[in-house]
Structure 1
Amino acid sequence: MQQVRNYYAILGVSREATNEEIKKSFRKLARQYHPDVNPGDKTAEDKFKDINEAYNTLSDETTRAEYDLRLFGKGKRRPGQGRGTIPRNGNGAKDYSQDYDFWRFKDYSPGTSKRAKVVNPSLAGRRDVEAKLTLPLEKAYRGGRERIRLEDGRSLEVEMPPAMSDGQKIRLKGQGLDGGDLYLKITIAVHPFFELQGTDIFCRIPVTPTEAILGEAVEVPTIDGLVKMTVPKGVRSGQRLRLANKGYPDSNGNRGDQLVEISIAIPVEISPEELELYQKIREKETFNPRKNLL
């Protein structure tokens, strides 16, 4: 019998952990092991896949209950958790189902973050299958080929469309069990720099005190690459600037904006020449930020 991996241990939480505790631990680990933070580090990449696989299972009450039965044995299901089904035709307000027939079988190596479960078991003969697929933000935005491993041992390579949204479902006709369909539910992984807010993308950019006072054109990362943004003179820490049409596309292809929050960074170490200049500025400056505190 194949040994069941302990997803609780992977996320560093107890079996009794709440959904909020699981989410908090996942976000912390996702930031730590994200491929963008550890470029070229295969160990970190595998760890990132493991924690996404664990979170996909434990963040959903139904799949968590089913997983507990496999890990802890019969009778270990937590009260109030039952089995759920997903409509075969993908009905629902947040279900942007699409049909894709361009698939093919591929060999697949272990250590993936993809997981599948059978739904609609009551249908005679054919059964639909749902699989969760976790993608980095950039991959969800650009689309492209992605592989997924199913519980029955099959492995499929799918050409994913661009601009996929969190919670979106994609249907692969006839790739379930006995002629049923396969539904891929997309989850966008936590990004260490960008944060999706609807179709807007939020980020924080550090600037130097002189850049904030004098204004400057600085480079800002976007999901399309680096762009130049003009920081106005006298910008305040916490002030938000907007890069129009640099957000995430909606279902109609209309893009949101990128919201850039300014953070004034103070240097930890400065040269003697810089220190001398700052001392001269202090002798001449008239600005007092504490003048009207009371």
Structure 2
Amino acid sequence: MDYKDYYQILGIDENASKDEIKKAYRKLAMQYHPDRNPGDAQAEERFKEINEAYQVLSDDDKRSHYDRLGSAYSNWQQTGGRGGFDWDRWNYGQPGQGGQPGGMRVEFDGDLGSLFGGAGGFSDFFSQIFGGMGGSSGLEELLRGQGRTQATQPRQYTSEMVIGLLEAYQGSTRQVRIGERTFDVKIPKGAKTGTKLRLSGAGPTGRDGKPADVYLKIKVSPHPGFDRQGDNLHTEIYLDIISAVLGGKVTVPTLTGSVTLSIPPGTQPGQTFRLKGKGMPKLRTPDHYGDLYVTVQVEIPKNLSDRQRELYEQLAKLT
């Protein structure tokens, strides 16, 4: 994978703040959005690059690695971040010992595509842990070595599953293979960071002869175009000064496609409009939706032709 200068792609300085990164992204994303450039393959490719750059630079950890590794970042990405399984990220805790009560925590960061059904992905990850140890003996041996195993203590295994905002909006069903068994995992519409999905009896068998449960703890990754606040979504659009003054119609992207928003004359910078029912589905009542709040930013022209300047000067004399 070739090195990509994400700062250059977004047109920002390497010391840019998070707000500057977000502002640059949103402006470019609106400009190159496929809905605004139907059939334009170059615009679509540019849009993908812009999203890729934002996904890295908006995440503190990814940005830190990118800044430190430079051209080696792509290779680091392809190897899964640390070049293999990181035992330091395992945490087995007992009540009163400062860990996860009665369970083992497995941290696994990545997108949904890498978690499920792919080589080196989620199914292989669990197969290596659960399927290749001769039952649970190898795992128990590891825990005994830490001096933290108690036969009577209930066990649970938790993995953090990172999904995108669109996946959380639509919901889906995924197949997960753990050892020799396959489980259907339903990601509910409206899933939030912290939502837990339980796979009953999917873990290794303990000394009591009962298999442990596996919990998939959802983390919804930030979306470059929308800020999620509960069941509501927030986004920004950029208007030229003429549209802000005279009003008009603009295209607003949503998670289900674009909609048209009527802008009244005299719209002010920072003014917010509500699109009812265009937010996230509610987790417990998925037929009900939150709202989408659209904040307007007005672009002031920087480079004027002589004729444009003349017209603005004439306008100034009338006000």
Per the normalisation by structure 1, the TM-score is 0.57
Mark the CA change 1:209 to 1:247 in structure 2 (over 3 Å): closer, same or farther.
same
- Supply the distance in 2 between the matched residues of 1:270 and 1:163 (Cα, whole angstroms): 46
Cα contact 1:200–1:258 (8 A) shared by 2:
yes
Aligned residue in 2 for 1:260:
294
Aligned residue in 2 for 1:277:
311
Q: Does 1:163 align with 2:190?
A: yes
Mark the CA change 1:160 to 1:68 in structure 2 (over 3 Å): closer, same or farther.
closer
- Supply the distance in 1 between the matched residues of 2:299 and 2:317 (Cα, whole angstroms): 22
Cα contact 1:196–1:202 (8 A) shared by 2:
yes
Cα contact 2:162–2:218 (8 A) shared by 1:
yes
Deviation at 1:263, TM superposition (A): 0.9
Q: Secondary structure at the match of 1:261?
A: strand
Q: Secondary structure at the match of 2:249?
A: strand
Q: Secondary structure at the match of 2:168?
A: helix
RMSD, matched Cα: 4.9
Aligned residue in 2 for 1:83:
99
Structure 2, unaligned stretches of length 5 or more?
Answer: 1-15, 30-45, 66-84, 90-95, 105-115, 131-138, 206-210
- Supply the distance in 1 between the matched residues of 2:51 and 2:182 (Cα, whole angstroms): 22
Q: Does 1:128 align with 2:156?
A: yes
Deviation at 1:43, TM superposition (A): 8.2
Deviation at 1:275, TM superposition (A): 3.1
Mark the CA change 1:261 to 1:107 in structure 2 (over 3 Å): closer, same or farther.
closer
Deviation at 1:237, TM superposition (A): 0.9
Structure 1, unaligned stretches of length 5 or more?
Answer: 1-24, 56-66, 72-79, 89-104, 287-294
Aligned residue in 2 for 1:236:
268
Identical amino acids, percent of aligned pairs: 28
- Supply the distance in 2 between the matched residues of 1:155 and 1:50 (Cα, whole angstroms): 35
- Supply the distance in 2 between the matched residues of 1:42 and 1:283 (Cα, whole angstroms): 44
Cα contact 2:233–2:280 (8 A) shared by 1:
yes
The letter of the residue matching 1:263 is Q
Mark the CA change 1:279 to 1:81 in structure 2 (over 3 Å): closer, same or farther.
farther
Q: Secondary structure at the match of 1:133?
A: strand
Q: Output one character per residue of 1:239-261: Cα deviation in whole Å (capped at 9) or x when no partner.
A: 11100100111121221111111
Aligned residue in 2 for 1:215:
247
Mark the CA change 1:194 to 1:50 in structure 2 (over 3 Å): closer, same or farther.
closer
Deviation at 1:149, TM superposition (A): 9.2
Mark the CA change 1:194 to 1:121 in structure 2 (over 3 Å): closer, same or farther.
farther
Cα contact 2:160–2:217 (8 A) shared by 1:
yes
- Supply the distance in 2 between the matched residues of 1:214 and 1:207 (Cα, whole angstroms): 11
Mark the CA change 1:50 to 1:272 in structure 2 (over 3 Å): closer, same or farther.
closer
The letter of the residue matching 1:174 is G
Deviation at 1:238, TM superposition (A): 1.0
| Equivalences, count | 219
